[in-house]
Amino acid sequence: MVIEIDSLSHMFSGSTEPVLQINRLTLGDECFVSIVGSSGSGKSTLLRIIAGLIDPTMGHISLDGNSPHRKRDIGELGFIFQSPTLLPWRTAMQNILLPCELQGDRSSNRQEDVNALLSLVGLSAADTRKRPSQLSGGMQMRVSLARALVTRPELLLMDEPFAALDDILRIQLQEEVRRIYCEQKITSVLVTHNIREAVAMSDRVLVLGDKPAQITADVAVNLPVVRNNDVRRSPEFQELVNEVTDALHQVV
C-alpha cells in the first residue's frame, strides 16, 4: 500500500500552533518504515492520522489513492497498540475474530484460515481457548498481532507494541514481526523510542523532531532481509544505529 502525505499539519484542540507538519512524504508499497523521535514529538499523532483515527487539521493523506477512513472500514488496515487492548471477557480466539465480526465478515472463521494465522504468529489452539488474564504479556501481544492480521490487511500500523516486554521477548517478537512482513509483504509502519529496534526491523527510519514536528532525517537501512543476531552484531548495524542516534541528537 502506498502512503502519500502532502502539506499536512495538525493542531490539538485549543492550541494555536501545529504539533505536526509534514510537507511531503511518500512511503512505498511493501516497505517497512519506523518513525523515531523524543516523547511528545508527534510520532503517535502521525500514526493515528495514517490510520484514520484522527483527521489532520490541514493537508492531504491518501492510501493507494483512498482516504484512511475508507481503507480502515473495508479491513485493509491493521493496528497494534502499545497495550494488547484485549477484551477480558472473551477468549483469545474471540478477540482475534473481533474485526471480522465488526465487519460482518464470517469468512475468516474457516478453520484452515485460522490455523494458518495461528501458526504465523506462534499461537497454539490451546492458547486461543484462554482468556487474556490466563496469558503472559508476550502471548497477549501475539493475540493482538493475530487480531491485526485476521482481515488480511495491506497496511500494518504499530505504536510501541513491544515497549512493556522484557528484552529477550522483545527481540523475539521483533524478529517474528519482521518475518511476517517478509512473508506477507504487508506495508508496515512502526512507532518506537528504541533506535536498535527501528534499525533491526525496518528498511527505512524516519526521524521526527523540531517544533512543529517535521521529518528531519530519512535513513535507508541496507541490511540483509533476515535480521538475526549476527546482523545485530555487525559493524553495518552499529553504524546505522549511530547515524539515527546522531540525527536524533540534532533535534533534541
Q: Give me the domains of the chain, ranges plus CATH numbers.
A: 1-57+163-252 (3.40.50.300), 77-152 (no CATH)
Residues in CB range of 235: below 8 A, 6 or more apart: none
Q: What are the C-alpha distances in Å from 34 to residues 43, 178, 220?
A: 10, 12, 11
Which residue stretches of 185-234 are H helix? 195-201, 229-233
CA distance linking residue 88 with residue 85, whole number of Å: 9
Strands 187-191 vs 32-36: parallel, antiparallel or unpaired: parallel
Over residues 73-78, the mean pLDDT reads 87
Say whether pLDDT at 16 is over 90.
no
pLDDT at 107: 55
CA distance linking residue 127 with residue 146, whole number of Å: 12
pLDDT at 223: 95
Assign 110 a pLDDT band (cuts: 50, 70, 90): low
